[in-house]
Amino acid sequence: MDPVNCRGIILGSREYKEKDRLVSVLTPDMGLITVCAKGTAKPGSRNAFVSVPFMLCNLVLTTSHGYYYLKDGSVIENNSGIMNNLEAMTVASHIAECLKDSTYDATDAGQAYELAVYAFYVLSRNPDKYLTVYSAFNWRLLTILGLTVEYVTCEASGRPVTKEGRYVLSPTAGIINESSSGISGDSVFALNYFAECEIKDLFTVKAADKIINELKRFTTDYLSVQFDKEYNALSTLEALNRT
């Protein structure tokens, strides 16, 4: 069988046998695949690059008995700035975890792949934007998976959402109620922007720290409910920063 040429993002890898690694790769056409990279733990291995996460690569794969094996490859974008910043690395690891939890079906892989390419690129070059990248990624991934709604009108009052209002948004039903304990109208509009904008423009949002923190909390809660899993990467990071 002829080799398969593909482009993909390395989401992570783990040891396999003595000298090999199993690599999780997100591709635009095949979704999330596992690739066996033989001999990558040997000194001087030409394919050792696949052990480093968050890189965009060209890969040449062979298949045998339903499994992918790495034959050759090259790095397109190493996103090395991520590994030099704790906050960026924490968010990148969160992104990789979410993608591994949700992209087994190749149906949504193209959009999820494009989202990951931009997210890792921005984190590498602008690590100070890690909270914006975190929230925007969360909401756009949920949108790609069909798990969000557009917030336009308060269901309880029938009034349109305004920047001056405050709203309670349901992570399960998408219902908005007006309440002083909710998030600001600015945050609601930001969520709608994250859902609808071009992916290349997704991480350009500039907002006050208060809005960014609201978006961080809400998107984390929403993601955890929808995926039935607790995502606590930022909580761990904040605990480390306090010590």
Q: What is the pLDDT along the chain (243 residues), one digit of tens a residue?
A: 688 899 999 999 988 887 888 999 999 999 999 999 988 877 778 888 888 999 999 999 999 888 999 999 999 999 999 999 999 999 999 999 999 999 877 777 899 999 999 999 999 999 999 999 999 999 999 999 999 988 988 888 888 999 999 999 887 777 788 988 899 999 999 999 999 999 999 999 999 999 999 999 999 999 999 999 999 888 877 776 766
| Cross-strand pairs, 22 | 14, 36
pLDDT score of 224: 94
Cα–Cα distance measured from residue 197 to residue 226, given in angstroms and rounded to the nearest whole number: 22
pLDDT score of 1: 67
Residue 238's CB is within 10 A of a number of other CB atoms, namely 11
Prediction pTM value: 0.93
Domains with residue ranges and CATH for the chain: 4-77 (2.40.50.140), 82-242 (1.20.1440.120)
Of 10, 12, 5, 39, nearest to 26 by C-alpha is 10
Of 71, 74, 76, nearest to 2 by C-alpha is 71
Of 127, 119, 73, 85, nearest to 99 by C-alpha is 119
Q: How far is CA 61 from CA 21, 50, 56, 92, 204, in A?
A: 14, 13, 15, 25, 35
pLDDT score of 107: 78
H helices of the chain, in order, are 86-102, 109-125, 130-144, 185-196, 209-227, 233-242
pLDDT score of 57: 96
